[in-house]
Amino acid sequence: MDCLNPIESAAAESPYEVLLTAVLLIPVSHYLLGLSLIVIVFLYNFLEIHFLQDLFTGLRGQKVVLTFHPSSQLYRDVVSKCRVLHGRQIFITSDGGTLALDWVKNVEVKNLAYQVNDAVEQDDKKPIVIIIPGLTSDSNSAYVKHLAFSMAKRGWNVVVSNHRGLGGVSITSDCFYNAGWTEDVRKVIDHVHRQFPEAPLFLVGTSIGANILVKYLAEDGINAPIVGAAAICSPWDLLIFSVIPSL
């Protein structure tokens, strides 16, 4: 009886059959283990957990290095506008709440001369726009700074009305701001209007600030001492969005 040499026997089979046989000899548990490792590595990087890296660095994290070219167009158009707003006024409400009103004036942006104590003259007739930021936003938010400096550059005096507890100001009363609370905005508008009776007043609200603005306009109507207003990205239905997280 002829006995085939193992090498000759393997050569007689198709390479694909040999490969399939080898694959089938590997236990299924090994495949599951390999798949689990792939999923773990994917989630580790996709979710940016990086707990192993934090463990080795003693939870100190890594240094963030930001580079820019001061002569680039991007820096002149965006980064240079993201300064801290000057001319802060502290406004105390009737219930003891504290609001920070941050001003940026047209003359400051035009002349690039930022003077903290240089207040707006009461007889100044330049239009004033009051910005009402969105949820958790204040005068330090990039989009608020960009909006304020862009409008000031076009001839407006701008004041950002920071919500209670924001803008670096502590909460000093039992009442906090919300999408339906218009009393703070009403008091700020009346305060600015009394200070600068000759200046036309405009309002700009974003997100939750837009909802507060629209509600204020509906409540005060023609009695509101403003010339115009713009609501940006106002929530469509607060009731629906308040229920969604619990679904």
Report pLDDT digits (tens) over 183-237: 999 999 999 999 999 899 999 999 999 999 999 999 999 999 999 999 998 887 7
Rounded CA-CA distance 50/66 in Å is 21
- In tens, the pLDDT along 67-112 reads 555 566 655 555 544 454 557 888 898 888 899 898 888 766 665 5
> In this structure, what is the dihedral angle of CA atoms 127, 132, 138, 139, given to the nearest 10 degrees?
0
Angle between helices 183-195 and 208-220 (to 10 degrees): 70
Buried b or exposed e, range 133-165, using 16+ CB within 10 angstroms: bbeebbbbbeebbebbbebbeeebbbbbbbbbb
CA angle 193-115-155, nearest 5°? 50
The kind and range of the H/E element at 46 are helix 28-46
The domain spans of the chain are 6-56, 84-246
The kind and range of the H/E element at 202 are strand 201-206
238 vs 136, more confident: 136
The pLDDT score that the predictor gives to residue 185 is 94
**pLDDT band with cut points at 50, 70 and 90 for residue 5:** low
Instruction: Give the mean pLDDT of the chain.
Output: 78
Rounded CA-CA distance 198/120 in Å is 12
The pLDDT score that the predictor gives to residue 175 is 86
- In tens, the pLDDT along 138-169 reads 888 888 988 988 888 888 899 999 999 888 88
Q: Which of 3.30.1360.10, 3.20.20.370, 3.40.50.1820, 3.40.718.10 would CATH assign to domain 84-246? A: 3.40.50.1820
Q: What is the mean pLDDT of residues 15-40?
A: 86
Look up residue 226 and give its two tokens. 């403003």
Rounded CA-CA distance 202/227 in Å is 6
Rounded CA-CA distance 131/108 in Å is 18
Radius of gyration of the chain (CA): 31
Looking at residue 221, the DSSP 8-state letter turns out to be G
The pLDDT score that the predictor gives to residue 89 is 87
